[in-house]
Each structure stands twice: as structure tokens, then as C-alpha cells.
Amino acid sequence: MFKHLFDNIYLITTGKSSRFPYSCCFYINDKVKTIIDTPIDTSFAEMFTKRQVDLIINTHFHIDHCGCNFLFPQAKVIAHPYDIPAMKDYKVFEDFYGIEKYNAPDKLLSWLPWRPSNITGTMKDGDIIDLGNIKLEVIHTPGHTPGHCCLYWQEKGVLFSGDFDLTSFGPWYGNDVSNVDELINSLERLIALEPKVILSGHKGVIDTNVKHRLQKYLDKVYANEQAIIKALATPYTLHELTYKKIIYGRWHEPESKFYFFEKMCLIVHLRRLLRIGLVKEFGDKYQSIKSAMV
């Protein structure tokens, strides 16, 4: 689907759904012809046989947001420096996921068609990317990944939010390089921005109750946090806590994949809870501090 939204902005999807592994990408038909994120599905390139592409902006390193970069060799490609290593080197890509460090199931990511991206430039917080009529401010929003960025068209209050996608699942932080503290700070920054429209990497256009939906999205992080603390009224090992299925709620097949990413989200969230003193670790178990004092 190649759908005109407003002004010179277009929504592009290649699947019947925009849920992972599919995603929403955006084309800006300005003086600098720009794609924001490219998907996994290589049929994406067929939509550009007669459309010029000068620039690709990747919000982060996940393959459903940069998977087709290699099909546009003529275009400049930019991303945040913190995520670029995982876009250029597959071993780093795996390390960002914690594959070897946390004993991921064999070939967990093998079905993802990773290819190196030829990154030609970088962007950082506060940069203004001048496309012609549209000027995008780079907002570095780490947490989901270290280099995750949103792009803000201030004149119209339009925010390209990448994987801060406002799905009902809430923010995902299942990489070894994810960080819940940074994610909370990033979302608070976006809430304060008060965008009028969000163009989400998995929900498309969001133009009603935007601030409320951002707050609700952030609240899901705190709901996860309270659920973890409540569960840890009883001491549990990481393995035992993982089987509480606090993050995903239910697992689909293959269960080993969901087990791994449930575990990774817990590891990342426990880092925060240990740091702020709400959970303690003793031996191979974790327990919430208030429970430990009883």
C-alpha cells in the first residue's frame, strides 16, 4: 500500500498487517525525496521503480526498520551512531540482542534476512534535516535501542515515532542494549512535546488523543514494573520469574523464542529495579525489598 496522508507525506506498508515482522514506513515527496525506515519485505522496492529516493532515515537498527536499505544503493542512509554498528556487522547485531551472552536458542534470529547497511551519514539530537518544505528535528529517544530517534516536523506538530509505536503491548525493551530508565525519560520528553499527529512504525497515523495515548503507553512500563515487584513478594530465580509471563501475557510458538524475549525484558527491567532499590538479588534469586523486610 502506498497511501497519501497529508501534505507530501505517504504511508507505505507491504503486508496485510503492520505488526512485526511487518511495519509502517513513510515517504516524503519533497525536494529531498526521503524514506523514513525500510521494512523486511523486499517487495517494498517495487513501489519505487518510478519514484526517486535521495535519502533514507533509519529510526533504529531493528531489521523491520532498515531491512531494505541495501535495495537503494543510490540513496544516502543516515542513523544515530549508537545503532550503526549493529546495522553494519551481524555479530554486533547479535550482541545487541544478547544472543550469546544469554544463551539464546539456536538460530533464534536466523529467519531474519539481515544484510549490512551502507550508512553514509549520522544524525544526533537537535539536528535539523532540511528536506525542502519539510524540516525534521532529530529527537534522540533511547531506551528501545541506544540510538533510537524520533523525527519532529515542528511546523505541523507531526512526530515520526519509529518503534515508540503506541501499540497496546506497550514499549518493548527486550534487547541487552535496551534501557528502561532511558525509555521512561524518552517518553516523558515526547509527552512534553505535545505532538498533534504521530506517524508510528506499527500503528500508522495516530491523530486523536495523542498526549493521552503517549501517557497510556508510558504507563504500561510502570504496570510491568508493579507486576514484577508484586510477583517478587516471593523470591524467584530469573527462570521462575520468566514463566510468570508478566511481559507478554501469553506465549505463542515457538515457545523458546517467547521465553528468551520475556527473559530479556525482565533482565533489562530488573537492572532498573535493582538500581533504584526496589528489588534485591541474593544468590540466584530476586525479591522485592518491602517483602524482604517483612
pLDDT digits (tens, 9 = 90+) for 91-145: 999 999 999 999 999 888 888 889 999 999 999 999 999 999 999 999 999 999 9
Q: Is the alpha carbon torsion for 97, 100, 105, 109 positive or negative?
A: positive
Instruction: Provide the percentage of residues in the chain whose pLDDT is more than 70.
Output: 97
Q: Where are the alpha helices (DSSP H) in the chain?
A: 63-66, 84-88, 90-97, 180-193, 210-231, 238-242, 255-275, 289-293
Q: Report the pLDDT value the prediction gives residue 94, as an integer from 0 to 100.
A: 96
Q: Report the pLDDT value the prediction gives residue 291, as an integer from 0 to 100.
A: 52
Instruction: Identify which of 217, 94, 231, 253 has the alpha carbon closest to the alpha carbon of residue 245.
Output: 231
Instruction: Identify which of 86, 104, 221 has the alpha carbon closest to the alpha carbon of residue 146.
Output: 86
Whether 57 and 37 have beta carbons less than 8 Å apart is answered as yes
pLDDT, mean over the chain: 95
Whether 143 and 179 have beta carbons less than 8 Å apart is answered as yes
Whether 267 and 259 have beta carbons less than 8 Å apart is answered as no
Q: Report the pLDDT value the prediction gives residue 66, as an integer from 0 to 100.
A: 97
- Residue range 32-53: average pLDDT? 96
Whether 74 and 97 have beta carbons less than 8 Å apart is answered as no
- Gap between the Cα atoms of 165 and 168, Å rounded: 9
- Main-chain phi, psi angles of 23, to 5 degrees: -160, 170
69 has a pLDDT exceeding 50? yes
Q: Is 50 exposed, middle or buried (0-12, 13-18, 19+ CB in 10 A)?
A: exposed
Q: Locate the DSSP E strands across the chain.
A: 2-6, 9-12, 25-29, 33-36, 55-57, 76-79, 121-122, 128-130, 135-140, 149-153, 158-162, 197-200, 204-206, 236-237, 279-282, 285-288
**Domains, the chain, ranges and CATH?**
2-221 (3.60.15.10), 223-293 (1.10.10.10)
- The two beta strands, 236-237 and 279-282, are unpaired
40 has a pLDDT exceeding 70? yes
- Residue range 38-50: average pLDDT? 95
- The whole model's pTM is what? 0.95
Q: Is the peptide bond before 254 cis (omega within 30 degrees of 0)?
A: yes
